[in-house]
Chains A and B, each alone.
Chain A
Amino acid sequence: MRSAHLAAQRDEEHTFALAGAEIVADPSGALYWPDERMLVVADLHLEKGSAFAKRGVLLPPYDTASTLARLAGVLLRYAPRSVVALGDSFHDGDGPRRMSSVDETTLRTLRGGRDWIWIAGNHDAELPRDLGGSFAASLAVGPLIFRHLPLAGVADGEVAGHLHPVARLSQRGRSVSRRCFTSDGRRLVMPAFGAYAGGLNIRDGAFFGLFGTLAYSALMLGEQRVYALSAARCFPD
């Protein structure tokens, strides 16, 4: 019965409950909360390319444009009333000043007509205020609390970023790694959204520390949908 139900869900939204809130895990890596018309993205790491370039590693300077274009797509689909950028939105505090004027305009347009909350991350604790939007260390809405760094210990309703979760499967002798949402139904760690953001395997000790057991699952990002797998089924690096 259930498998038929899941198969029918192909290409549809993956809705799940977190501390009582019904939320949608989008295959782009964004989280949507329909009741609040709120969209959450974590770890955009905008201007990571230019941060590397400053150190002499001339990565293609298209990461900001690429990240913003994907974000624009999600915003168009959900038309949220508010957007929460869950920290490390820029690779460093200087990032906004290195942004090209085109990217700046894109970001301003995306922000237009909706609330935009920059949650402080460890990379971008001090963002220039002329960026627009509002700034916060964390944000509590109903049963959920949004912050960049997940707290140690029990944290019901927490939505955090920072760890860049990636799940790895080995199937038919092939290994597949994808970014993923990680949750035990009580707290959630979001995948990184940025084009150049790396990843940390969900079997790493950092996740075990948060969830206490292996009883958490991964929602792996696919092309059209997310795939739900238990952490125990995933492989460590």
Chain B
Amino acid sequence: MTVLERTALLPDRFARWFAGRGWTPRAHQLELLAEAHAGRSVLLIAPTGGGKTLAGFLPTLVELSGLHDPPRAAGAKSPSRLISTGHAVRREGGLHTLYISPLKALAVDIARNLERPVAEMGLPIRIETRTGDTPISKRQRQRRDPPEILLTTPEQLALLLASADAPYLFGSLKRVILDELHALVISKRGDLLSLGLARLFRLAPDMTSVGLSATVAEPEELARFMVPQRGDVSAARADIIFAAAGAPPNVSMLDTRERLPWAGHSARHALDEIYRLIETHRTALVFVNTRSQAEAVFQQLWRINERNLAIALHHGSLDVAQRRKVEGAMAAGLLRAVVCTSSLDLGVDWGDVDLVINVGAPKGASRILQRIGRANHRMDEPSKGVLVPANRFEVLECRAALDAIAEGAQDTPPLRIGALDVLAQHVLGCACGGPFFADELYAEVTTAAPYSGLTREDFDAVVDFVATGGYALKAYDRFARIRQDKDRRWRIANQNVAQRYRLNVGTIVEADMLKVRLVRSRASKVMPRGGRLLGHVEEYFVETMVPGDTFVFAGEILKYEAIVEDAVYVSRSAAEDPKVPAYEGGKFPLSTYLAARVRNLVAHPQEWRELPQQVREWLEIQAWRSQMPGSAELLVETFPRANKHYLLCYPFEGRLAHQTLGMLLTRRLERARLRPLGFVANEYALAVWGLGDVAQRIDRGGFSLSELFDEDMLGDDLEAWLAESALMKRTFRNCAIIAGLIERRFPGQEKTRRQVTISTDLVYDVLRSHQPDHILLRAARADAATGLLDVRRLADMLSRIRGRIVHKALDHVSPLAVPVMLEIGREAVYGEATESLLAEAEAELVKEATQ
């Protein structure tokens, strides 16, 4: 099709509207229109600011305008006519396009943006949103009398599908638009969406899909996600349109005049320079990786903010109202800078941002590119980004990211294998929507790309779990949630089951959060009450504090007063040296791709030219005092220090994989009687210390590093550790909640979580010892492979370095070891189980008592 023919698909009124705004339809917008007109599903890959959203809606707007296909339009104008289909009624017209976004704020924003062209062109189209905030009366009306275009989220889609009128509501559906698809598919929400999509394709067989995505490493995988997969034909996929790339981004690394820190993430050394950058730009987004960093950077910037620039703070723990206020001020152009976390990675367009500063490690090439794309949401102007490494290792990572950006390399993760806990939630949802045959549902589920490899055995195990818990001991038949009727169709046992499903739908399991309320410092013992809500913190962060401790939150230094039910009460504090908050959030591991690049950079001195001089010198001294790790090798250094023996290694595989490695190595060193005491990990290295001298033991023979690092540690050692690992228990808890074993919310009574739930840790212990192959434990292990324990990455590393371990026995600490050694004392020290901590606490007490 020629450009002219494509342009012909655009009705005059649309062409005039474009012209009236001084715009020309972009090539990819017309191309998408042509594909959609031909009844094809399309994935549009475009950089931010490419008019992506309008492109996605254009086919729908044209079809619904009645200007393009007159016979169809006549029906569309009288949307309430009912047509008998023989055994049911279907509505002529009805819901035409469903738009799904990862953020409800984005859905609301897009709806507002769409209203404008629709109003200006006078199109007879009703556009509505449906989110958790939509009033019940409106939701009910939407089911009865749906708009032509509905904008919603994956969770709301699941809820709509889990009702008896889903066939009526979605039977008329022509198109589903999946926005920010690259962000949706990488999590369990993507799994849930894929299952919802499979169901939609069954309810509306003529439906097509439009996917909108940023640039990814494997667009074909996303294109597969968008259409039903059939086992017998080779992978079906949507057509892919690549929008013309915008101007290449202008990205650089801050060339600091200050001394680069050895460790830490605060980037305190560069704050003056960051402030100058803010001063010399219109509006800057200052991205950091964790919420605690956001707090620290925000604090420091205000300390030097002599010109009183409007600098705001935005992260996921802050109260929603506060975040909306910041977003509003940003949109109105009132702010000069926002210090933020991934909470602003997606979402609303802000044309005025002309600089993105990324403080800390970039973590991934695609990720950093998407962040930088937040500057200048206009495609023809280059986005401007400055990377600010917070320490020396991060300089290497920034350098690797800059090289990757220059080459246009992408490192988004591969498509997920659908999680079994999400499937369990979906199966229950299907039963709530109406009775189903297992054969039919299995066929439907396997059309979803993440589940295309699902075996019938696993599917049946999931159905069994939903029905009676999936236990080998068949104790709960009489308590079944779904049962087979005489036709062998599965039905919910009673309406209570459906009510509880609806309260617990979704795959986002928040850590147990406590409200943070600001009160006046407490002189008396009176229990605090009321107080302004500042936001939420993870319960496990508060668990490490005692009353009187201070920490930074919501831009203020606060004193922990007390905890009452679900709230932490805090007061303002004048403390100078607050405790660093350890609450997590936004901790992504370094991408495998970038890790390989960093290893390569380190291994090749000829590439150090591009590095700042102080970093180059650091590496040169390392090469002289010890040696540089080769790109395929694992360098292991040993040295004594202050009566202890240290073992350092540099896998560059990210903190999570290193922590798991540390746990397993200490178990093995313990067994070899080398008496390990603890370890600490950062993104690049791992340090283990103890009383035994590893180097001496190697010299004497009978012990080798290749044995210590043998892959078989992923067998029994891993299993033994998983039995008691708090991270594994947290992983299990998430699966138990998503699968519906443990409920987050209960109908009727609004009890607090502590009152009604049972500890999933206890359930984990019991289940693990009685039915280790239970479906939920399998789901948790699958999560552990990539999640908090990153076992798969560790496995890949161990196999990569087999036979390639280089040991360097040193007299003292090497330059490369310094950064991770500095983490000792800053980070919580991990060690063998909690037993030794108990003994230590007891011994301290005895010492105090006897001194």
Interface residues of A (CB under 8 A from B): 1-3, 6-7, 48, 50, 52-54, 56-63, 65-66, 100, 168-176, 178, 195-199, 220, 222-223, 227-230, 233, 235-237
With A60-B770, A65-B770 as given contacts, are A3 and B834 in contact (CB-CB < 8 Å)?
no
Interface assignment of B4: CB less than 8 Å from any CB of chain A: no
Decide: B828 and A172 in contact? CB cutoff 8 A.
Answer: yes
Cross-chain contact of A56 among B475, B500, B771, B830 (Cβ < 8 A)? B500
Interface assignment of B546: CB less than 8 Å from any CB of chain A: yes
Decide: B845 and A230 in contact? CB cutoff 8 A.
Answer: yes
Cross-chain contact of A63 among B741, B766, B845 (Cβ < 8 A)? B766
Alpha-carbon gap, A220 to B405, bound state (A): 55
Decide: B742 and A57 in contact? CB cutoff 8 A.
Answer: yes
Interface assignment of B497: CB less than 8 Å from any CB of chain A: yes
Q: How far is the CB of A170 from chain B (nearest CB, A)?
A: 6
Decide: B767 and A60 in contact? CB cutoff 8 A.
Answer: yes
Which residues on the A side are within 8 Å of B841 (C-beta)? 169, 171, 227, 229, 233
Which residues on the B side are within 8 Å of A168 (C-beta)? 543
With A172-B828, A228-B842, A233-B845 as given contacts, are A61 and B476 in contact (CB-CB < 8 Å)?
yes
Which residues on the A side are within 8 Å of B850 (C-beta)? 1-3
Decide: A61 and B762 in contact? CB cutoff 8 A.
Answer: no
Q: How far is the CB of A200 from chain B (nearest CB, A)?
A: 10
Which residues on the A side are within 8 Å of B546 (C-beta)? 170, 235
What is the 8 Å Cβ interface bit string for chain B, positions 468-505, against chain A (1 contact, 0 not)?
Answer: 11010101100101000000000000001100100000
Which residues on the B side are within 8 Å of A173 (C-beta)? 544, 582, 827-829
**Chain B, interface size: which category?**
35 or more
Which residues on the A side are within 8 Å of B741 (C-beta)? 57-59
Decide: A62 and B771 in contact? CB cutoff 8 A.
Answer: yes
Which residues on the B side are within 8 Å of A169 (C-beta)? 837-838, 841
Decide: B481 and A171 in contact? CB cutoff 8 A.
Answer: no
Alpha-carbon gap, A122 to B842, bound state (A): 34
Cross-chain contact of A58 among B469, B769, B842 (Cβ < 8 A)? B469
Decide: A61 and B835 in contact? CB cutoff 8 A.
Answer: no
Decide: B758 and A52 in contact? CB cutoff 8 A.
Answer: yes
Which residues on the A side are within 8 Å of B829 (C-beta)? 172-174
Decide: B475 and A53 in contact? CB cutoff 8 A.
Answer: yes
B828's nearest neighbour on chain A, judged by CB, is A173
Decide: B847 and A54 in contact? CB cutoff 8 A.
Answer: no
Interface assignment of B239: CB less than 8 Å from any CB of chain A: no
15 residue pairs from A and B, CB less than 8 Å apart: A6-B843, A56-B497, A57-B743, A58-B476, A169-B837, A169-B841, A170-B546, A174-B828, A174-B830, A175-B540, A197-B762, A222-B835, A223-B835, A228-B842, A235-B546
With A3-B846, A229-B841 as given contacts, are A196 and B763 in contact (CB-CB < 8 Å)?
yes
Which residues on the A side are within 8 Å of B833 (C-beta)? 223
Cross-chain contact of B770 among A62, A197, A199, A236 (Cβ < 8 A)? A62
Interface assignment of B88: CB less than 8 Å from any CB of chain A: no
A169's nearest neighbour on chain B, judged by CB, is B841
Interface assignment of B840: CB less than 8 Å from any CB of chain A: yes
Decide: A195 and B762 in contact? CB cutoff 8 A.
Answer: yes
Which residues on the A side are within 8 Å of B838 (C-beta)? 169, 171, 176, 178, 220, 222, 227
Which residues on the A side are within 8 Å of B563 (C-beta)? 236-237
With A56-B497, A62-B767, A233-B841 as given contacts, are A196 and B479 in contact (CB-CB < 8 Å)?
no
Q: How far is the CB of B718 from chain A (nearest CB, A)?
A: 19
Q: How far is the CB of A50 from chain B (nearest CB, A)?
A: 7
Interface assignment of B765: CB less than 8 Å from any CB of chain A: yes
Q: How far is the CB of A72 from chain B (nearest CB, A)?
A: 14
Q: How far is the CB of A123 from chain B (nearest CB, A)?
A: 15
Task: Give me 4 other A-B pairs in contact (C-beta within 8 A), A174-B829, A175-B540 excluded.
Answer: A3-B850, A58-B479, A100-B475, A176-B834
Interface assignment of B83: CB less than 8 Å from any CB of chain A: no
With A169-B838, A196-B758, A198-B758 as given contacts, are A61 and B469 in contact (CB-CB < 8 Å)?
yes
Which residues on the B side are within 8 Å of A52 (C-beta)? 758
What is the 8 Å Cβ interface bit string for chain B, positions 808-828, against chain A (1 contact, 0 not)?
Answer: 000000000000000000011
Interface assignment of B613: CB less than 8 Å from any CB of chain A: no
Interface assignment of B774: CB less than 8 Å from any CB of chain A: yes
Q: How far is the CB of B668 from chain A (nearest CB, A)?
A: 19
Q: How far is the CB of A169 from chain B (nearest CB, A)?
A: 5
Interface assignment of B233: CB less than 8 Å from any CB of chain A: no
Q: How far is the CB of A176 from chain B (nearest CB, A)?
A: 4
A55's nearest neighbour on chain B, judged by CB, is B479
Which residues on the B side are within 8 Å of A235 (C-beta)? 543, 546
Identify which of residues 773-789 in chain B touch chain A, using a CB-to-CB cut-off of 8 Å: 774
Q: How far is the CB of B461 from chain A (nearest CB, A)?
A: 14
Alpha-carbon gap, A196 to B760, bound state (A): 9
Which residues on the A side are within 8 Å of B496 (C-beta)? 56
Most chain B C-beta atoms within 10 Å of own C-beta, residue among A56, A197, A222, A223: A56
Interface assignment of B526: CB less than 8 Å from any CB of chain A: no
Decide: B828 and A60 in contact? CB cutoff 8 A.
Answer: no
Alpha-carbon gap, A62 to B850, bound state (A): 46
Which residues on the B side are within 8 Å of A198 (C-beta)? 758-759, 762
Interface assignment of B839: CB less than 8 Å from any CB of chain A: yes
Which residues on the A side are within 8 Å of B469 (C-beta)? 53, 58-61
Alpha-carbon gap, A6 to B475, bound state (A): 46
B476's nearest neighbour on chain A, judged by CB, is A53
Alpha-carbon gap, A53 to B582, bound state (A): 37
Most chain B C-beta atoms within 10 Å of own C-beta, residue among A50, A222, A230: A222
Most chain A C-beta atoms within 10 Å of own C-beta, residue among B546, B741, B763, B840: B763
B479's nearest neighbour on chain A, judged by CB, is A53
Most chain B C-beta atoms within 10 Å of own C-beta, residue among A53, A178, A233: A53
With A62-B473, A222-B835, A223-B835 as given contacts, are A195 and B845 in contact (CB-CB < 8 Å)?
no
A174's nearest neighbour on chain B, judged by CB, is B828
Which residues on the A side are within 8 Å of B582 (C-beta)? 173
Decide: B828 and A50 in contact? CB cutoff 8 A.
Answer: no
B678's nearest neighbour on chain A, judged by CB, is A172
Nearest 10 A-B pairs (CB), nearest first? A58-B469, A173-B828, A62-B770, A61-B475, A171-B837, A176-B834, A227-B838, A53-B479, A60-B767, A175-B543
Decide: A196 and B843 in contact? CB cutoff 8 A.
Answer: no
Identify which of residues 728-744 in chain B touch chain A, using a CB-to-CB cut-off of 8 Å: 741-743
Cross-chain contact of A176 among B759, B837, B849 (Cβ < 8 A)? B837
Decide: B475 and A50 in contact? CB cutoff 8 A.
Answer: yes
Which residues on the A side are within 8 Å of B767 (C-beta)? 60, 62
Alpha-carbon gap, A170 to B544, bound state (A): 6
A228's nearest neighbour on chain B, judged by CB, is B842
With A3-B843, A6-B846 as given contacts, are A61 and B758 in contact (CB-CB < 8 Å)?
no
Decide: A195 and B540 in contact? CB cutoff 8 A.
Answer: no
Most chain A C-beta atoms within 10 Å of own C-beta, residue among B758, B767, B828, B838: B838
Alpha-carbon gap, A172 to B825, bound state (A): 9
A58's nearest neighbour on chain B, judged by CB, is B469
B762's nearest neighbour on chain A, judged by CB, is A196
B834's nearest neighbour on chain A, judged by CB, is A176
Alpha-carbon gap, A185 to B843, bound state (A): 21
Q: How far is the CB of A236 from chain B (nearest CB, A)?
A: 8
